[in-house]
Amino acid sequence: MASIAATISPAEPQPLTGAKLIVAAFALALANFVVVLDSTIANVSVPHIAGGLAVSPTQGTWVITSYAVADAISVPLTGWLAARFGTVRWFIISIIGFGFFSFLCGISRTLDALILFRVLQGLSGGPLMPLSQILLLRIFPKERAGMGLAIWAMTTTTAPILGPILGGLISDNWSWPWIFFINLPVVALCAFGVASMLGTFETKRAKVRIDVVGLVLLVVSVGAFQIMLDTGREHDWFGSAWIVMLAIVAAISFIAFVIWELTDANPVVDLRIFRFRGFSFATLAISMGFGAFFAQVVLTPLWLQQVVGYTATETGFVVAWIGVFAVLLSPVAAGLIGKADIRISICAGIMWMAFVSVLRAGWSTEVDYWSLALPHLLQGMGMPFFFVGLTALALSSVPMKDQTSAAGLMSFLRTLSGAVGTAIATTAWDDASRVSRSELVSALNNPAAALSSMESAGLTADQARGVLDRLVEAQAATLGVSHLFLASGVIFVIAAIAVWIAPRPKQISMGGSH
């Protein structure tokens, strides 16, 4: 691919055609793919990373949430960065930064270092999703712009499927640092392809003022809130002065952020868009739904590996089924937009995901492969109607001039909700498991007889007690995760109700964002 790119001269400002268009579109789509891939590739590798760095699996989930939060914070800055440095130039800076910090993640030998570089990787990668979308729209002729968006949407949908499979295969057969090192050749290919062919698509640079106060307040409020969620369990929550301080900092900086952004002439996040009721409730629905969805995506691999005994590879091949119908039905979901009341298909998609959450809650420690795979396969059927439909509803609820800001704000809140959902779910799982364990211990049926039969089978008293303890732990953890799947189902139902508070848009318009 690099050799093909090398033989192609820089494109004219007119839309590309033929081989140039194919190679340029491939480079842009691949960049979007690798950034989205990194949001899920670490999910099944958390136990490996935790073991390699000598930390608990719960602490290991910070590797996921730190990336998601940094990614979320950098998305609203994309418009300012593109205006200040040029769209193509900032794309190349972002992709190179993403590759550099991927390398540093791979060579990290402490959890602190890994989290720092994951944050920097997320900050670099965040702008690549909207920038790749903008550039794909620019290089395609206007009448084929839909094809550009379809390629972008397809990479966004397929990357989370391959993430768990690749993460599992790499963690089990090589070592976890390679989940970051595999980004390097992809980054080199994307940077070379874009630099060599899209130079003439560069936008004019303008000295746009950045809302420094708003940005600082955003980083402080989101950062303090996320650290509070991630460290709350081990510090006994509000029994700890550290957690109380973080909560106060998060609350004060958030209130200050809202007041500042509503009064600043050039806000980093335009909160005034929330005056449109359709946008507000569509964003509420997608944030709640994505938080519940992402919590399941993180909890399932942890439970399968820690409790059921699956390897990372086996876990990847369970979770990956979620993408089959997500890819196949994306064109159907897009085709339905504008043909009927969009709220019907969205509500149906979200309620379907709630139903699948109830199916997940029926899992036990003796569950077979297809009982695990089926809910993932079925969940993919609801995802396109949920994601594509809610994006269309939200953006159609605001005027065309506000759609870019609306898309950035919605993307920020969706990504942040995924991180918050993960942090809450891992903590709640721990608490629910502990409660279930105490209930199971008090309800054990004649444990003395069970211990006696194990001892008569040749186990020592300590070994027999250990076996019984592990059995109780596994059942408690399974009950805990089942409760959380049911809670996710309830959140999906609330999200489905929120959709109906949004007015039916007069016409559907996706603008320049998907």
Cα–Cα distance measured from residue 104 to residue 119, given in angstroms and rounded to the nearest whole number: 11
| Residues 313, 74: Cα–Cα separation, whole Å | 32
Cα–Cα distance, 342 to 118 (Å, whole number):
37
| Residue with tokens 């820089």, as numbered in its chain | 10
* Residue 458 clears pLDDT 80, i.e. is over it: no
130/120 Cα distance (integer angstroms): 18
CA 393, CA 284: separation in Å to the nearest integer? 12
- Look at 122-136, 237-251, 299-313, 331-345 and tell me which has the smallest mean pLDDT: 331-345
Of the listed ranges 5-9, 94-98, 199-203, 451-455, the least confidently predicted one is 5-9
> What pLDDT, on a 0 to 100 scale, did the predictor assign at position 8?
30
Q: Return the C-alpha torsion angle 195, 200, 202, 203, nearest 10.
A: 180
**Residue 326 pLDDT:** 79
How far the first Cα of the chain sits from its last, in Å, is 27
Q: What does the pLDDT look like over 469-480, one tens digit per residue? A: 777 778 888 888
**pLDDT, tens only, 421-450:** 887 888 888 887 777 777 777 666 666 666
How many helices (H) and strands (E) in the chain?
23, 0
Residues 384 and 392: their CA atoms lie apart, in Å, by 11
Give the alpha-carbon dihedral of 387, 155, 415, 79, to 10 degrees: -110
Phi-psi region of 416 (alpha: psi -120 to 50; beta: other; left: phi over 0): alpha
Helix (H, G, I), strand (E, B) or coil at 338: coil
Ramachandran assignment for 310, one of left (phi > 0), alpha (psi -120 to 50 degrees), beta (any other): beta
Q: Contact, 447 vs 461, CB < 8 A?
A: no
Quote the CA–CA distance of 94 and 98 in Å, as a whole number: 6
What is the distance between the alpha carbons of residues 468 and 464, in angstroms, rounded to a whole number? Answer: 6
Helices (H), 232-368: 241-263, 277-303, 312-319, 322-328, 330-336, 342-360
DSSP state of 209: P
The token pair at 110 is 């402490």
Residues 6+ apart with CB under 8 A from 324: 161, 377, 380
Of 349, 48, 22, 359, the closest CA to residue 176 belongs to 48
Q: Which two tokens stand for residue 224?
A: 């303090």
Top pLDDT among 222 and 453 is at 222
pLDDT surpasses 50 at 246: yes
**Cβ–Cβ < 8 Å for 118, 141:** no
State the pLDDT at residue 446. 64
Residue 352 has pLDDT above 80, yes or no: yes
> For residue range 149-201, what is the model confidence (pLDDT) as tens digits?
667 767 776 777 678 778 888 888 888 899 999 999 999 999 998 888 777 77
Are 497 and 136 contacting, i.e. CB atoms less than 8 angstroms apart?
no
What is Dmax (Cα atoms) for the chain? 83
Under CATH, what is the fold of the domain 286-514?
Growth Hormone; Chain: A; (1.20.1250)
**pLDDT number for residue 143:** 64
Asked if 196 and 2 touch (Cβ cutoff 8 Å), the reply is: no
Q: Which CATH superfamily is domain 1-210 in?
A: MFS general substrate transporter like domains (1.20.1250.20)
Report whether pLDDT(5) > 50.
no
